[in-house]
Structure 1
């Protein structure tokens, strides 16, 4: 069983800070690296895989540094997000080349087994240029598994996959985790991570924002202040009764857009109270719209908290 330790790691490119003072430990099982696009997930994965050096801090696999350490490549399998591959090769040739680079005693046998694992045997003889994005993802997965690694790092692995391919990959990753392997995959979709990961690490704007199982992360997101925009036939009266009931913490009537803006820290109480109060006070609700439900705003709250 292998463990990745990241200690006070930062990475910058010129004046751009991609990863900022991150500390985390990734152990056996399935960990989801969650965050919006541009959060620093890919940079962090590249440092774990030994493809990039940390500007400050340390990244180690079982106590050994990952940077400039060729030995760790025998323990790590990496599936990058980039779609670019050697399109003039067949899938079988691509995986076989990776097996040979690892110096395996039976490279062809290892390549065939890896291709079978990802269910791409029927398409292995076709050139990669003819593959869909989902097929390319699966063949990259085969190449990363060819040397039977103890650690698997995947960058947005479900991009471009159809529902059947996604379910198959999820089942494969669960089997690998049950064998005691360390599996880490990045995603910007919370529901995707919930289905698969037993532990979640959240990255936002290069910073480590939160850590825990998906219930803890979901609770952090649900319990944050929520803002809504409402339209009714009496916005001022509706705002007054919501405040009196304690269902919201702040209200504002915007004459410009003719809407009532409310903020609440108790999402459950607000959603239960709103229709009841409107009915009891004979206020007609026309619509209610979340005003801050973008992924960036949700993750931004985690950073601030």
Structure 2
């Protein structure tokens, strides 16, 4: 069983800091690397896979440095997000080529293609593949040498529901077999369905860690902002601000609405309809104003 250790790792490109002092350990099982687009997930995975050197800090596999350690590649498989592939090759030729880099042959490539259910299209050129098919043949290429560590960058992009379920089942089996599987996503629901452990990264920083229940709880317990329109905004604001679940209310003249900051999510969701009914106020609009993943986890970074 293998473990990846990221110890105070930073990576910058010129003046841009892509990963900022991240420390985490990725062990056997399925781990989800969750964060909004541009958070630094791909940079972190590329350092774990040995494609990028950390600017500071270390990335190791079972205590061995990954950067410039060729033997490590016998143990790591990586499925990058980028689409660049050898489109003039067939799927089988692509996987066989990767098998040969590991000193293996067509038999290993055949097993890998069967694992990702791409045998039916293995003799078609990659240029004819859909995005989901490309993802699966990249997965086959990463599995051809039977690695103990698998790194996947946004692997579900472009997959139809059946392909998605098949890949989820495959990753669950691999995690259950004791392999170390890490996949990135910006969609919490994807991570919840698959990962036993979640690492959250926002703006290059490590924001939170735990199982999906803890991450959900952190999200729910944070302050929430709502845009509310009603038949009597003034009376509604006066009633809401008197309750401890509401930390502040602003009047948005441009929107013709109230911006309400709720610090007790559960209490506020019960309070709002009750107050409206008691004061005979019609609620015209109630919508979260900050529900992007960026806003959700930026709160965790600042906490």
Of 188, 204, 207, 1:206 maps to 204
RMSD (CA atoms): 1.0
**What residue number does 1:62 align with?**
62
- SS of the residue corresponding to residue 246 of structure 2 reads coil
Q: 1-side partners of 2:60 and 2:147: how far apart?
A: 16
Q: CA deviation at 1:253?
A: 2.8
Q: 2-side partners of 1:101 and 1:162: how far apart?
A: 31
Residue ranges of structure 2 left out of the alignment (5+ in a row) = none
**What residue number does 2:180 align with?**
182
Q: CA deviation at 1:89?
A: 0.5
**What residue number does 2:89 align with?**
89
Q: Could you give the per-residue CA deviations for residues 72-101 of structure 1, whole angstroms, max 9, x where no partner exists?
A: 000000000011110000000000011110
The reply on whether 1:109 has 2:107 as its aligned counterpart is yes
Q: TM-score, with normalisation over the residues of structure 1?
A: 0.97
Of 230, 241, 244, 1:243 maps to 241
**What residue number does 1:17 align with?**
17
Bigger drift between 268-277 and 130-139 goes to 268-277
Q: 2-side partners of 1:96 and 1:52: how far apart?
A: 25
Q: CA deviation at 1:233?
A: 1.4
**What residue number does 2:41 align with?**
41
Q: 1-side partners of 2:143 and 2:255: how far apart?
A: 56
**What residue number does 2:77 align with?**
77
- SS of the residue corresponding to residue 77 of structure 1 reads strand
Correspondence 1:1-305 to 2 at 5 A = 1-104=1-104, 107-305=105-303
- SS of the residue corresponding to residue 67 of structure 2 reads coil
- SS of the residue corresponding to residue 296 of structure 2 reads helix
Q: CA deviation at 1:296?
A: 1.3
Residue ranges of structure 1 left out of the alignment (5+ in a row) = none
- SS of the residue corresponding to residue 81 of structure 1 reads coil
Bigger drift between 291-300 and 70-79 goes to 291-300
Q: TM-score, with normalisation over the residues of structure 2?
A: 0.98
Q: 2-side partners of 1:110 and 1:255: how far apart?
A: 65
- SS of the residue corresponding to residue 242 of structure 2 reads helix
Contact between 1:236 and 1:253, CA under 8 Å: does it hold in 2? no
1:69–1:261 Cα change, 3 Å: same
- SS of the residue corresponding to residue 249 of structure 1 reads strand
Q: 1-side partners of 2:63 and 2:154: how far apart?
A: 27
Q: CA deviation at 1:242?
A: 1.3
Bigger drift between 16-25 and 289-298 goes to 289-298
Q: 1-side partners of 2:149 and 2:251: how far apart?
A: 54
Number of equivalences: 303
Q: CA deviation at 1:256?
A: 4.2
Q: CA deviation at 1:255?
A: 3.9
Q: Could you give the per-residue CA deviations for residues 2-25 of structure 1, whole angstroms, max 9, x where no partner exists?
A: 000110111111111111101000
Q: 2-side partners of 1:19 and 1:256: how far apart?
A: 37
Q: CA deviation at 1:133?
A: 0.5
- SS of the residue corresponding to residue 281 of structure 2 reads coil
Q: 2-side partners of 1:205 and 1:278: how far apart?
A: 39
